[in-house]
Amino acid sequence: MVSYHLNTLTQLRAGLDSRAFSARELTVHFLNRIAVHDGALNSFITQTPEQALQAADLADKRLAAGESGSLLGIPYAHKDIFCTAGVRTTCASKMLGNWVAPYDATVHHKLNAAGAVLLGKTNMDEFAMGSSNENSAFGAVKNPWDHAAVPGGSSGGSAAAVAARLVPIATGTDTGGSIRQPAAYCGITGIKPTYGRVSRFGMIAYASSLDQGGVLGVSAADCAVMLQVMAGHDARDSTSAPVPVPDYAAQLAQPMAGLRIGVPRQWFTQGLAVSVAARIDDALLELEALGATRVAIDLPDAALALAAYYLIAPAEASSNLSRFDGVRFGHRCDHPRDLNDLYERSRSEGFGAEVQRRILIGTYALSAGYYDAFYVRAQRARRQIAAHFAAAFAHCDVIAGPVAPTVAFDLGAHSADPATMYLEDIYTIPVNLAGLPGMSIPVGFAGGRPVGMQLIGPAFSESRLLAVAHQYQQHTDWHQHMPAAYREDVL
């Protein structure tokens, strides 16, 4: 077992409730860790120490009055894609470099009402477009396990901050793997709920039919606590599902006996690193020892899903980002000659290269003469992918497999090769296309860098996924490991 002390949300909650420390003291501790360590990581875009201390003091008053709550006084960080009134929301883009939202995202409103303490907004790939967190106007984020490696994307800032214990927990968003992949690369736990489980109101859109908010934390139990507060129907989001939210924490003890774990044959081929496959097999053996049964299944659509995603997502992005035109809000070029010049220069100056690439792909796919040939065919493929998942779940309860083909790659390794970068999401993208919940849990290391295993369930089966992950983490300690450079002064 690891030798350093680690506080889970449960332990932090107990410490606050017993007055072992105050919410202010807890907040100061994490603010100090950010001040000491984030210069090397670049995981934060905006820090909010004054607001955090005010929120902590309010939490202490609520605690003194006898109030309780799972997140009351608990510090956290937001991916900088959630709108927060009075605090800038940039999406890691020059286009929104100094924009301050006039309203709160539903997720932020819920966390604020629960008494959670926001420490700041984390770095990300610009407008959530990327798999490495190198596509940020504020610079790349470093992986805490190895500063030469990427932390994954697009929620890389949140993942790095949690892995280095600069925050106990953080929000993220997942359009094609952007919670699960950085969680895997940084050796933490991440969950993308079912599409519609968490409100998208105030979460700046990349691809509206794919985006979903979620959680990055140390453990499945911590993620269950955070997701409990975030989840639920929101009348302001037309895609929000009116489905009751179960008590995730109360269902973590579900036994593994009789659980059927589907393992896709097509995912364990030559495209998957041998060392990654070995760690996943070790994890599956552990689950089998707990009473689960391994079942071979077929999910033949990984390559098809990748092609469909990179038509559907850019098409939706080209529509969603059309509002950033230099007229209403966002970056505006200096001294435009005419309206066309205003549009062209504002957008070319405000958007980075990857965002521009995806806007162009999406606009092309939606253009007259190509809509049926590309976009419509991609949507047909999407239905086929969902049907194959449904067929697989007739034979298993959850699906397990890799999150990514390799461990975290080096910074700059794929910068000149977008196609290779896109392949990093080959195992996560099908889940978003089908609208299903997915998780990543740490299962070991390969070459000194973390390996994550993906768990996938039917729609609205987050409780089952969290329980499987929790039971595994009760019998292993991979989730407790943290990078050596950040172990000093951990609370």
Q: Does 154 qualify as catalytic in the annotation?
A: yes
285 neighbors 375 (Cβ within 8 angstroms): no
CA-closest candidate to residue 138, choices 216, 44, 48 = 44
- Select which of 22, 43, 154, 318 is catalytic: 154
- Angstrom CA distances, 133 to 89, 159, 374, stand at 17, 10, 28
- Select which of 22, 43, 79, 463 is catalytic: 79
339 neighbors 110 (Cβ within 8 angstroms): no
Q: Does 79 qualify as catalytic in the annotation?
A: yes
- Select which of 43, 178, 199, 463 is catalytic: 178
* Residue 169 one-letter amino acid: I
Specify the DSSP element, H or E, that contains 320: helix 302-320
Q: Does 136 qualify as catalytic in the annotation?
A: no
Who contacts 173 (Cβ-Cβ below 8 Å, separation ≥6)? 79, 81, 128, 154, 155, 179, 203, 206, 211, 212, 213, 214
Who contacts 352 (Cβ-Cβ below 8 Å, separation ≥6)? 93, 94, 126, 135, 137
181 neighbors 440 (Cβ within 8 angstroms): yes
Spatial separation of the C-alpha atoms in residues 140 and 124, rounded to whole Å: 8
Rg of the chain, C-alpha, whole Å: 21
* Residue 118 one-letter amino acid: L
Which residues belong to the active site? 79, 154, 178
